[in-house]
Amino acid sequence: MKKLLNTLYVTSQGTYLSKDGECVVIRAENGQKKRFPVHVLDGIVCFGNVLCSPFLLGHCGEKGLALSFMTERGRYLAGVRGPQSGNVLLRREQYRQADDPVASADIARSVIAGKVVNSRAVLRRCLRDHGDRVDAGMLERAVCTLDECARRLQTPVSLDEARGMEGQAAGAYFAVFGQMVLQDEEAFSFDGRNRRPPLDAVNCLLSFVYTLLAHDVRSALEAVGLDPQVGFLHRDRPGRPGLALDVMEEFRSFMADRLVLSLINRGEVRARGFVTKESGAVFMDDDTRKTVLTAWQKRKQDEAMHPFLRERIPLGLAFHVQAQLIARSIRGDLDGYPPYYWK
């Protein structure tokens, strides 16, 4: 079984990463120097002005480390991959199925079913824990809508119908999402998703955590030899990791959304940790970003029962397991793609 390895996040500006033997050496502007052996890591994420030597890039490619560059705010800029590896036959089959509307609809349906069921579980968890502090009627109505969607997704649907279900479910879910913010409701008010740029603190947190999730899912897909660009639910668009977005859907609500909610509700992020620019865009400061990164890393170490494997695994490994499962269903070794249902 694969081991959950650590991810290195570099947020200090002006740092230089280089390779020395089998190690990453990190030199900060103030002369501080740190080193980590490459084999304890499975990815490096650089924020803002961070430089990497070409030899380090090559070494990461060779060892299968995912290396991503983001802006300081967490928008994805570029990723570096080594020589293309993995199974070309699997990738070809992936492309064939992505071109086939029936096969695509099947995988898209599983992915959305996973998303809907997990979103519903998040709402139900909130009702159970804080039923007295939220508008229970509204939340219950949203749960009903999601139930309805989940039921309709049990039988085969066309790709467009599947997308319609997703839209309906997401609409119902985000309509009540703001209800689940229980701390400092004024500063963390939420009415609907917005991004590029995010216009409030909650959207800012959500977008940031989604990019972290995307990095991890993408590297898991690459590790099993799939092409993260070619999705089934998300159609091809240059520069968009379609398949990574597909697989992310299942994880968004319980990994990312709940993380954001608990950071706010436990008071770990505060209103003063956010800056509003003249354009209306909201950004977080360095300390808040570190808090979020720490929480994300900890979240990945939480263990849960995998619904398909029936084995307890860290959530961070669940990305890799789902990547394996989707590869197997593309190969035809499984009858369908079993999404990750969170309990």
Partner 1 sequence: MLVLVSYDVSFENPDGKRRLQKIAKICENYGQRVQYSVFECVVDPAQWAQLRHRLLDAYDEEVDSLRFYFLGKNWQRRVEQHGAGEAYDPETDVLIL
Closer to partner 1 by CB, 234 or 289: give it.
Answer: 289
- Site residues (vs partner 1, CB under 8 A): 3, 6-12, 15, 20-23, 26, 28, 34-37, 39-41, 290, 293-294, 297-298, 301
| Helix-, strand-, coil-residue percentages of the chain, each rounded to 5 | 50, 15, 30
CB of 36 to partner 1, least distance (A): 7
**CA-to-CA separations, 200 to 189, 196, 268, 287, 339, in angstroms, rounded:** 8, 11, 17, 18, 31
Backbone phi and psi for residue 43, each to the nearest 5 degrees, phi listed first: -175, 155
> Which lies closer to partner 1 via its Cβ, residue 28 or residue 136?
28
235 vs 298, beta carbon nearer partner 1: 298
- Cβ proximity to partner 1, 274 vs 296, nearer residue: 296
278 annotated binding-site participant = no
Residues 56, 89 contacting (CB under 8 angstroms): no
For residue 318, give both structure tokens.
């669940």
Question: Hey, which residues does 67 pair with through a beta bridge?
Answer: 44, 80
User: H or E stretch including 284?
Assistant: strand 282-284
State how beta strands 33-37 and 76-80 pair. unpaired
Q: Give burial (CB, 10 Å; 0-12/13-18/19+) of 186.
A: exposed
CB of 26 to partner 1, least distance (A): 6
Closest separation in Å from C-beta 269 to partner 1:
16
Work out how close the CB of 242 gets to partner 1 at its nearest, in angstroms, rounded to a whole number: 30
Q: Closer CB to partner 1, residue 39 or residue 92?
A: 39
40 vs 275, which CB is nearer to partner 1? 40
Closest CA to 70 of 218, 238, 177: 218
262, 267, 302: which is closest to 184 by C-alpha?
Answer: 267
166 is in an annotated binding site: yes
DSSP class of 74: -
Find the shortest distance in angstroms from Cβ 155 to partner 1: 43
If the CB atoms of residues 21 and 332 are measured against partner 1, the closer one turns out to be 21
Burial of residue 268 (CB within 10 Å: 0-12, 13-18, 19+) is: middle
Work out how close the CB of 34 gets to partner 1 at its nearest, in angstroms, rounded to a whole number: 7
The rounded distance, in Å, linking the Cα atoms of 75 and 198 is 11
Q: Is 249 among the annotated ligand-binding positions? A: yes
Beta carbon of residue 216, minimum distance to partner 1 (angstroms, whole number): 14
The candidate with the shortest Cα–Cα distance to 234, out of 336, 327, 163, is 163
Annotated binding-site residue numbers for Mn(2+):
166, 234, 249
Binding residues, as ranges, are: 166, 234, 249
